[in-house]
Chain A
Amino acid sequence: MARLAQEFIARGADLELVGIRKEFPGFTAIENLDLHIPAGEFFALLGPSGCGKTTTLRLVAGLDEPTKGKILIGGKDVTATKPHQRPVNTVFQSYALFPHMSVLENVAFGLKQRKVEDPMTKASAALDLVELGHLAQRRPQQLSGGQQQRVALARALVNRPSLLLLDEPLGALDLKLRRQMQIELKAIQMEVGLTFLHVTHDQEEAMDMADTVAVMNKGRIEQMGSPEKLYDRPHTVFVSKFLGQSDLFVGEVVESNASSLSINVAGSKITVPKDRAEKHTGTIAVGVRPEKANFHESEPAPTSGVNLIGPGEIIDIRFTGVSNQYLIEIPGIGEITVFAQNVGKSPVTELGAKVWVSWKVEHSFGLADLPENSAAESLSEI
């Protein structure tokens, strides 16, 4: 029975979800999910609490059955296959360590089931990897939350499955340990060429580790792509705010030429290149990342290729170490955020100063949808 699992060992397999839908009694957790993860890729699934990330992993692991759709691992349709026959291991969000076994026995469990040679030695090595070698004989109940999480990680990793599902595997660790585990994880993934499907709340972790990031919202994937792409060119309001921060402006398209279009926001013209905009007509939202914007104490001369709004007033300044965050209130437009590197000669440091804000047109992005309270002509958010 374990043969199917055996076949795939030592090689990453690709995962394909086709038209997946998952209904719970009275609740649709996943609407229509299509996803392809190439073999050997580190894929991060990012999304707010309750958006269906764990549900997706459970479907892939075979712990739940999809209401509709197909799941293919390594090209084989496994939709009807039992969990123990899938070449998949999971690091559970709830750890799910066996309380009646020692830590070492927990880690060796999968190896023993597959009749791998020398399970105890391999399990010990895996425990050393997560720095828990000295606690091998303890029971899981005798470990701290972070230690339990690392046991769960070792228990799944030691099997070298062709597809590893990680459900917030580092959530309980402190920053230093988390960084270290991230490096270990990435190293193992690269070394063996495994496919990782990694669920996380931590956008930095997702952007740092993953080859591809998918942002999930309310049971759908909103956008998917390389971390750089996703950050540089979000397609929806949700993505623009979930991944980093954005200043958004909503206005009617008033000008349009072959390469760019402009919207009118309270009398100011904001331009965005056409190939960076999802929608080209009507009322659209245009955004910019706060670190791409600058502000000026005197009104700069209008330059082509630069969006300029203002004047406004600095109403809040936050020092976050590497950068200063300025909150600027512009009459008729609203509050917008601007980050400035803290290089010792910050342009303005006083509250109440009158400033103009500008950014390059090529840094603008046009979104497919509008912010929910688009009654306000524009808004900026966290």
Chain B
Amino acid sequence: MAFAAFGHGGGSASAAAPTKKSKVALFLLLPGLIYLGLFFMTPLISLIITSLEVPDGSGVMGSYAYGFAIENYAKVVTEFWPQISHSFGYALIATVGALFISYPLAYFIGVKARRFPLIQGLMLTLVIAPFFISFLLRTFAWKQIFSNESPAVHFLQQVGILGAHDYLVGTPFMVIFGLTYNFIPFMTLPLYSILERLDVRLLEASSDLYASPATTFRKVTLPLTAPGIISGTLLTFIPIAGDYVNASGDFLGGTKTAMIGNVVESRFLVLNDYPTASALSVLLMGVILLLVGFYAKRSGTEDLL
């Protein structure tokens, strides 16, 4: 599974490096390298170049000339600071939320349901089932469920959780809810894949050595499943930070909840402001790379937990 591969690349330090250099291996890598160069590096470089362009002075919307406008970056940071902070703030909250929901779920499927393969298979299918419906549709369905005139919102207004003129769609809460919901499977699957291999005899040994269930979880279960937590959080945090569907006004968001993705979308597709959109994209990528690199380095060593 792609998740597992990701998990090892990102987290666990145990992957043994092959010691023999082989020309065959290099040769086999070639198609992948060419693919990466063509379809990943080229757009990236083009994006960086675009992010430094300046208006060409013709006044025509969308026409820019090559330049070296580093100030584009300073401009986007000051101008779009709220959206940048939304992106990373929402991503952080939604990732943590997904972790807290997914861990018990994955633990149940991978450990508790081990003796009942039927239940295990059924629950796994349920986790993956949402993928069979377009996630645009599913997100839209949530918008319907919590729309301003919906029974759900009426009910919340009635019991006083929402004020008489408060609604859910367009609030940060709704956006974070949608993000968490949409990315739970990406958290659950890597967690499941590691929990399924957890040796419960080690938990028994821990309890035999006077550790309470809580201590056993903290000292044994958690460290042993850390690689799953790391790959799960990376697999959710990165796409959430760049997401633009949930926060968009067409779905669960509103004007006050825009994330970087929404700005990039409108600059690219509506305002034809390519340098700004590109600068924001590059910035997003750079920050994510930095964060992830730092996180993976910390968690590669065992002092993370």
A residues contacting B by CB (< 8 A) are 1-2, 5, 61-63, 82-84, 88-90, 92, 94, 96-100, 109-110, 113-114, 155, 159
A98–B205 touching, CB < 8 Å: yes
When each residue 192-209 of chain B gets 1 if its CB lies under 8 Å from chain A and 0 otherwise, what string results? 000000010110111111
B223 touches A100 (CB 8 A): yes
Q: Flag if A92 contacts B205 (CB, 8 Å).
A: yes
Identity of the chain B residue whose Cβ is nearest the Cβ of A114 in the assembled complex: B210
B210 with A5: CB separation less than 8 A: yes
The 4 closest A-B pairs by CB, nearest first: A110-B209, A96-B205, A113-B210, A83-B207
User: Do A98 and B220 touch (CB < 8 A)?
Assistant: yes
Task: Tell whether, in the assembled complex, residue B210 and residue A110 are in contact, meaning their CB atoms are under 8 Å apart.
Answer: yes
**Min distance, Cβ B117 to any Cβ of chain A, angstroms:** 14
Residue of B whose beta carbon sits closest to that of A96: B205
Q: From the candidates B201, B210, B212, B302, name the one contacting A92 in the complex (CB within 8 A).
A: B201
Minimal Cβ-Cβ distance residue in A for B201: A96
In angstroms, Cα B302 to Cα A365, docked, is 63
A109 near B206 with CB under 8 A, answer yes
Task: Please tell me if the beta carbons of A113 and B224 are within 8 angstroms of each other in the complex.
Answer: no
Asked if B42 is an interface residue, CB under 8 A from chain A, the answer is no
Q: Which residues of B contact A110 (CB under 8 A)?
A: 209-210
Which chain B residues lie closer than 8 Å to A90 at the CB level? Answer: 205, 208
| A126 to B: closest C-beta gap in Å | 13
In the complex, the answer to whether A84 meets B220 with C-beta atoms within 8 Å is no
Cα–Cα distance between A96 and B199 once the two chains are bound (Å):
9
Taking each of B204, B209, B212, B224, which has the highest tally of chain A beta carbons within 10 Å of its own beta carbon?
A: B209
Docked-complex contact B224 and A100, CB < 8 angstroms: yes
Chain B residue nearest in CB terms to A94: B201
Shortest Cβ distance from B208 into A: residue: A90
A113 lies within 8 A of B209 (CB): yes
Q: Is the CB of A89 within 8 A of B209?
A: yes
Residues of B within 8 A of A100 (CB): 220, 223-224, 302
- What's the Cα separation between A94 and B302 when bound, in Å? 25
Q: For the complex, would chain B's binding face be called helix, strand, loop or mixed by DSSP majority?
A: helix
**Which single member of B199, B201, B207, B223 contacts A84 (CB below 8 Å)?**
B207
A110 to B208, CA, bound (A): 8
Question: Does B47 sit within 8 A of A, measured CB to CB?
Answer: no
For B206, list chain A residues within 8 Å (CB). Answer: 98, 109
B204 near A83 with CB under 8 A, answer yes
Bound: A109/B204 CA distance, A: 13
- Contact residue among B202, B219, B302 (Cβ-Cβ distance under 8 Å from A96): B202
Residues of chain B with a CB closer than 8 A to A61's CB: 208
Residue numbers in B under 8 Å from A5 (CB-CB): 210
Given A2-B210, A89-B208, A109-B219, 11 extra CB contacts under 8 A: A63-B208, A83-B204, A89-B209, A90-B208, A92-B201, A92-B205, A98-B205, A100-B220, A100-B302, A110-B210, A155-B209
Proximity string of chain B (206-228) to chain A, C-beta cutoff 8 Å, 1 when within and 0 when not: 11111111011001100110000
Q: A114 — which chain B residues lie within 8 A by C-beta? A: 210
In the bound assembly, the distance between CA atoms of A96 and B205 in angstroms comes to 6
| Subset of 20 A-B contacts with CB under 8 Å | A1-B212, A61-B208, A63-B204, A82-B207, A84-B209, A88-B208, A92-B201, A92-B204, A92-B205, A98-B202, A99-B224, A100-B220, A100-B223, A100-B224, A100-B302, A109-B206, A109-B209, A110-B210, A113-B215, A159-B209
Which residues of B have CB within 8 Å of A63? Answer: 204, 207-208
CA gap between A92 and B209 in the complex, in Å: 12
Residues of A within 8 A of B201 (CB): 92, 94, 96
**Which residues of the other chain, A, contact B215 by a CB distance below 8 angstroms?**
113
> Quick check: A84 and B205 within 8 Å, CB to CB?
no
Which of chain B's residues has its CB closest to A155's CB? B209
